[in-house]
C-alpha cells in the first residue's frame, strides 16, 4: 500500500520537472491572451506526467489485467489530446480517436446494459443499443472534463472528489480489489492539483487537453467498472447504470 501511494507521487513530481524543460520545444505552452489570466506561458504537461506515473507504477506494482486494460486504452485518449495541444486538430479527428478508445472498452468486456429499475417500468435495458450508449457515455464524460478545464484546479478537483467517493464506497462496502488504481490516480492527480493551484518550488503547470481528456476517460471507465462489480455503490453515483463485464 505504501508503494501504491508514494511511487506515483515521486514519479509525477519527477515527470513534471523533466517535462517542463521540453514544453517549449514541443509547443506545449499555453500562451497568455486577453481571455486568460496568467501573464506568462505555462507548460501543458500535467496529463503526460500523470500518465507516465500511472504507466510506470502499473509495471512496478503489477496491477490486475482489468486495470492494465484501462491504462493502455487511456493512451489513445492521451495521444489525441496531446496532438490537439500541439496542432489544434479538428473535431472529427478527435471524435474518431475517442470512439476508438470507447470501442476498446467495449471489446474488453465492459458495456452498459441497462439503467436499472425506473418507477413502474421495471428494468430499462438497452439491448442491442448497449454498445452505442456505452460509447456515448464514455465520450460525453471525457469531453465534459475537457470543457470544464478552464479554471485552476477545477477538472483535477472534480476528478479527486469522484475517485475519493469511489474509494470510500469500495473500501467500507466491498473490499480492496480495485483500490490500487484508484489510489495511484488520486496520488498522482493530487500532486498535479497542488502544483496547479498552490505556490510551490515547482513551476505552475496545466493539464492541457491531453490531461483533461485523460481524467474524464479514466473517471468514466473506472466508474463503470466499479458500478458493475460492487453493489455497495449507490445507483445515484456517477453513471446510474448497470454494466456487463467479462473482465
pTM (two decimals): 0.91
Please state, in angstroms and rounded to a whole number, the distance separating the CA atoms of residues 15 and 2: 20
Strands (E), the chain: 29-30, 42-43, 111-117, 123-125, 242-244
pLDDT value at residue 227: 77
Backbone angles phi, psi at 210, to 5 degrees: -60, -40
C-alpha cell read off for 166: 469511489
Task: Report pLDDT for 230.
Answer: 58
Rounded-to-10 torsion of CA 237, 238, 243, 247: -100
d(CA 49, CA 55): 10
The secondary structure of residue 203, as a DSSP letter, is: P
Q: Report the number of distinct structural domains present in the chain.
A: 1
**pLDDT score recorded for residue 32:** 86
Spatial CA neighbour of 50 closest among 13, 2, 85: 13
Residue 238: the pLDDT is 42
- 3-state class of 113 per DSSP? strand
Specify the pLDDT at position 244: 54
* Residue range of the domain that includes 57: 2-244
Take residue 163 and report the three cell numbers written for it: 475517485
Nine cell digits for residue 156: 483535477
Mean pLDDT, each 10-residue run in order, the chain (247 residues): 90 97 94 79 96 94 83 96 94 96 90 75 80 94 94 94 89 71 94 95 95 96 79 49 49
Amino acid at each position: 500500500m505504501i508503494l501504491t501511494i508514494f511511487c506515483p507521487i515521486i514519479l509525477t513530481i519527477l515527470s513534471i520537472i523533466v517535462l517542463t524543460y521540453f514544453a517549449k520545444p514541443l509547443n506545449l505552452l499555453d500562451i497568455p491572451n486577453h481571455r486568460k489570466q496568467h501573464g506568462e506561458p505555462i507548460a501543458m504537461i500535467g496529463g503526460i506526467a500523470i500518465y507516465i506515473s500511472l504507466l510506470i507504477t502499473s509495471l512496478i506494482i503489477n496491477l490486475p489485467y482489468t486495470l492494465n486494460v484501462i491504462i493502455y486504452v487511456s493512451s489513445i485518449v492521451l495521444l489525441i489530446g496531446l496532438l490537439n495541444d500541439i496542432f489544434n486538430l479538428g473535431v472529427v479527428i478527435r471524435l474518431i480517436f475517442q470512439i476508438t478508445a470507447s470501442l476498446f472498452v467495449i471489446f474488453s468486456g465492459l458495456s452498459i446494459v441497462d439503467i436499472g429499475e425506473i418507477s413502474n417500468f421495471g428494468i430499462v435495458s438497452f439491448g442491442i443499443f448497449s454498445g452505442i450508449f456505452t460509447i456515448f457515455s464514455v465520450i460525453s464524460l471525457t469531453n465534459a472534463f475537457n470543457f470544464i478545464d478552464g479554471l485552476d484546479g477545477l477538472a483535477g478537483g472534480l476528478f479527486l472528489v469522484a475517485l475519493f467517493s469511489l474509494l470510500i464506497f469500495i473500501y467500507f462496502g466491498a473490499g480492496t480489489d480495485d483500490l490500487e488504481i484508484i489510489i495511484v490516480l488520486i496520488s498522482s492527480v493530487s500532486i498535479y492539483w497542488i502544483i496547479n493551484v498552490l505556490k510551490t518550488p515547482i513551476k505552475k503547470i496545466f493539464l492541457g487537453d491531453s490531461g483533461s481528456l485523460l481524467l474524464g476517460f479514466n473517471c468514466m471507465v473506472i466508474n463503470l467498472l466499479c458500478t458493475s462489480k460492487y453493489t455497495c455503490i449507490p445507483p445515484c453515483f456517477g453513471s446510474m447504470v448497470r454494466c456487463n463485464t467479462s473482465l
